[in-house]
């Protein structure tokens, strides 16, 4: 259930009996991106087949965190009184790897005095 290299409906696998999904109540995981960190590259595509809406994410960051609102209430009222269910949306957060400061084999997220931080993320929306 953790392999998204092919188009996959998120809801079809989110409740599978997989240790990582059970620990987080669903998806709340960081994926390592292919390619060199610091170079802009494709990270994810999300699409909705009924409307044809699509979002492509590219980034210079080494990873992307995928979260599905697992810890949200069963229902939440939003703008215009619209009611959204738990897991009614998702987050794609480009970032360094969690716990990277304690993992010597991970790229360091530490910024030293005089160093410059420069990362970019591009969200492209379309149909």
Cα–Cα dist 31/43, whole Å: 9
Report if residue 110 sits inside a domain. Answer: no
Contacts from 11-17 at CB under 8 Å and sequence distance 24+? 11/87, 14/68, 14/87
Report if residue 4 sits inside a domain. Answer: no
pLDDT at 120: 98
Report if residue 64 sits inside a domain. Answer: yes
pLDDT at 37: 83
Report if residue 77 sits inside a domain. Answer: yes
pLDDT at 63: 97
pLDDT at 56: 98
Find the domain containing 95 and state its range: 25-101
pLDDT at 101: 97
Report if residue 40 sits inside a domain. Answer: yes
Report if residue 117 sits inside a domain. Answer: no
Report if residue 18 sits inside a domain. Answer: no
Cα–Cα dist 122/42, whole Å: 9
What residue ranges of the chain have pLDDT lower than 70? Answer: none
Structurally, the chain folds into a number of domains equal to 1
Report if residue 46 sits inside a domain. Answer: yes
């Amino acid at each position: 259930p953790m392999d998204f290299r092919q188009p996959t409906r998120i809801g079809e696998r989110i409740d599978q009996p997989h240790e990582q999904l059970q620990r987080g109540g669903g998806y709340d995981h960081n994926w390592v991106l292919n390619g060199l960190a610091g170079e802009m590259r494709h990270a994810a595509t999300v699409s909705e087949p009924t409307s044809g809406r699509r979002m492509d994410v590219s980034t210079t960051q080494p990873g992307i965190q995928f979260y599905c609102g697992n810890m949200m209430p069963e229902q939440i009222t939003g703008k215009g009184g619209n009611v959204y269910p738990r897991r009614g949306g998702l987050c794609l957060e480009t970032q360094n790897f969690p716990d990277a400061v304690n993992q010597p084999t991970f790229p360091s997220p530490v910024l030293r005095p005089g160093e410059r931080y420069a990362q970019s993320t591009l969200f492209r929306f379309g149909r």
